[in-house]
Amino acid sequence: MKISACWIAKNEEKNIARSIQSVSRMVDELIVVDTGSTDGTVEAAKALNARVYDFEWIGDFSAARNFALDKVTGDVAVFLDADEWFVPALRRRDRQVVEQVFSNANIDCMLVKRSDIDEDTGKVINVDENQRIIRIKPDIRFINRVHENLRRITTEGNEVVHSNSYLQWNINHNGYTPSIVSGKFKRNLPILEAELERITNPYDLFTTHAYLIREYSSLNEFDSAFPHMQYTLDNLDLFTDVYRYMRQSFIPFIFLLFDTGNRFREKVSRKQIYEALVPRAKDYYSEAEYNMIDLYYQVVYDRQPKLFLERYEKAASRLPIITTDSVLSYRRVIYSIKVHASALYSSLGAYDKAFGIVNEIVQIPDYRDPLIISLLLNCLFDQPDETVIPYLSSIFDFNSQNTYALLSNPLMRFNRKTVFLYLQKKQLDAGKLTKPDYLFLLLVNQNYEQFIRAFASLEISEGQDNLIAEFDRQLFLAAILSNEESIIFANRDRLERYRRILISWFSSTPLENISLDEIQILSENYALIAFAGSLEIADQFANLFSDDPDLPLTVKSEYYTDNRLYNELTRLDWNNASVKSNVLFSYCRSQIHCGQYTECFNYIKQLVQNELYNYEILELIFILSRSYSGEISEAAKVLYSQYLLVYNDRIDTRDQEHTGYSPRHLTMI
């Protein structure tokens, strides 16, 4: 058996040699089809004894590939892109595998594993299977102008070729590196749109729509992606072939279809999404992969806490562990599933279980975000500082400014002052503490006179708008925390943004006609004032905004909940608050933590009677059903089942403007 290797290439001087060398020892001939290179691609290929042919580019990748196939003299061809290479490189002895596979006359193609690598970081972005080793026959050709596929051409049309998967061989591919892929997607879009006018094969028509969803979504052009999403849902009968022939490469598309559909909940029902994607996945994927698909659907669409937790607990041990080597598309999905589970466990007070999940995730630098840090600190709330500091130090580099940027605000929100000051000292010793952070350190230590001297000595250059804004905020905080009006008089021109708030503060007069910017000032600084000063000062500051009772309640309830000040939270003035689920959720959760199960249950019933239907209420009822009070727990289980019918009716309704959901199922109320 004679084995050839083929490439089509344009301006691939930096990649072509690596690709050729990864397979040259196994093959008998090297063929490169150049589509118009202006760099040293041709010379690099010839230097490795490749035969080079010119092909005028006509915007059709299949035409170029078929031209290359026509030049092959072997029985089998290894067909690579120039930005792909075998890892490890194939050797002469690997011919035996190829010869054995193709000794079966029914096999037309070998599928090998392909790992998309981010060239900038070296990380794996995705893994799929690709047609890369092909039997040379006149009726086996590539079709489609982009994202081309191999087909057997017949008088009646074309058929999907019979393939053999050999996933022991891996190809690395750097063509989807995020810094360059958007250019490829922009190039592909007009070609793909034009293909829709030409393609008649239902399977290829479906995959073209799927690629258009991916390309448009990756470019954040979701409105353009939606018509193609709708096509896939209107042609569910095609999914069987897609599952069968795309297999692993279709899993990222499943997640993409979930995400795209979720953006258009007013047009796409969750029932459509479920029926199209979830049940039949069980027939084509492993149990672990199916669990991942099913649980991610629940996170994005179902959001039923009882069902999710039951299925998660059954599947958790079989879900892939998030590691730095995990496929990125899987990592993102597993991350979402596990964060959702951790948040639920935290709501139920099962902090050990929540910590087990978060501790796994936080080991991966890519997923150290504010959400996961907040979940982590919530799990560590009862742990002493002498335990928390070495634990965090084992994960984070406390000398890094990135660590400071990531940890400082959550540490302040959760009032971990000792840990925060330790982090500040590490930054100071390493010479990494910025001037605004140094000024805040003085405020935390109540060194107001030293703050004034340090501020007066600052040299601020024009054009440093972000830095100037941060210095101005430090002045504002100093005035509030020290309660010293002289700071205002000495720096009147620097405090214009805060002028009305400061006048209100020193005159003890509530603000009127509160602006959006002033709301932002409240939300950004309440926790800082509580941390650097006291909760009493922070509450006095929040009470300036009593013109809108929801504002102080919102910021207070978030901070009180983070710091488990449940008794204090239940004693806040709720009489004048409007119904805002995020605030009411904190209030009800505090009642549960304080053992006020009956009061909480009655309050929730009142919310339901007022036709408040959302996930937060459903989760609250679920938490009550798991409470330690037998009578209330049983009543909550009944309410959960009844409420779920209305909740499902609501999220299944395509007309999202309809809000008059009557509690017709809630017979017990």
Q: Domain of 77?
A: 1-175
Q: How many alpha carbons lie under 13 Å from residue 74 in its C-beta half-sphere?
A: 24
Task: Please report which confidence band the pLDDT of residue 661 belongs to, taking 50, 70 and 90 as the band edges.
Answer: very low
CA distances to 192, 221, 264, 512, 569 from 227, rounded to whole Å, are: 14, 12, 11, 47, 47
How much of the chain exceeds pLDDT 70, in percent? 93
Task: Please report which confidence band the pLDDT of residue 324 belongs to, taking 50, 70 and 90 as the band edges.
Answer: low
Residue 66: the pLDDT is 95
| pLDDT mean over 318-335 | 70
Task: Please report which confidence band the pLDDT of residue 491 belongs to, taking 50, 70 and 90 as the band edges.
Answer: confident
pLDDT surpassing 70 at residue 327:
no
- Decide: helix, strand or coil at residue 369: coil
Q: Is residue 235 part of a domain?
A: no
Q: How many domains is the chain built from?
A: 1
Q: Which two tokens stand for residue 493?
A: 């021109």
Predicted confidence (pLDDT) per residue in 231-266, tens digit: 888 887 777 777 776 666 678 888 888 888 888 877
pLDDT surpassing 90 at residue 651:
no
Q: Which of 23-32, 148-157, 195-204 reaches the highest mean pLDDT?
A: 23-32
Predicted confidence (pLDDT) per residue in 182-193, tens digit: 888 898 999 999
Q: Is residue 138 part of a domain?
A: yes
| pLDDT mean over 106-135 | 87
Least confident stretch, 433-447, 520-534, 567-581, 592-606: 567-581
| pLDDT mean over 291-307 | 90
Contact indicator for 5, 27 with CB cutoff of 8 Å: yes
pLDDT surpassing 70 at residue 660:
no
Least confident stretch, 355-364, 407-416, 609-618: 609-618
Residue 171: the pLDDT is 95
Task: Please report which confidence band the pLDDT of residue 664 belongs to, taking 50, 70 and 90 as the band edges.
Answer: very low
- Let me know the angle formed at the C-alpha of 412 by 411 and 414, rounded to the nearest 5 degrees: 65
pLDDT surpassing 60 at residue 354:
yes
- Decide: helix, strand or coil at residue 612: coil
Q: Is residue 499 part of a domain?
A: no
Residue 129: the pLDDT is 82
Separation of first and last alpha carbons in the chain: 78
Task: Please report which confidence band the pLDDT of residue 659 belongs to, taking 50, 70 and 90 as the band edges.
Answer: very low
Q: Is residue 230 part of a domain?
A: no
Q: Is residue 541 part of a domain?
A: no
Q: Is residue 62 part of a domain?
A: yes
Residue 580: the pLDDT is 61
Give the CATH number for residue 97: 3.90.550.10
Contact indicator for 480, 443 with CB cutoff of 8 Å: no
- Decide: helix, strand or coil at residue 218: helix
State the Cα–Cα distance between residues 249 and 207, nearest whole angstrom: 11
Contact indicator for 455, 432 with CB cutoff of 8 Å: no
Residue 652: the pLDDT is 64
| pLDDT mean over 29-43 | 96
Record the pTM.
0.80
| pLDDT mean over 451-474 | 82
Name the nearest CA neighbour of 22 among 88, 67, 78, 69.
88
State the Cα–Cα distance between residues 550 and 555, nearest whole angstrom: 9
DSSP 109-140: EEEEEEEEE-TTT--EEEEEEEEEEEE--TTE
Q: Is residue 553 part of a domain?
A: no
Residue 323: the pLDDT is 60
Q: Is residue 106 part of a domain?
A: yes
State the Cα–Cα distance between residues 138 and 127, nearest whole angstrom: 31
Residue 248: the pLDDT is 61
Residue 106: the pLDDT is 92
Average pLDDT, the chain: 87
State which H helix or E strand residue 81 sits in. Answer: none
Token pair 């970081």 is at which residue? 121
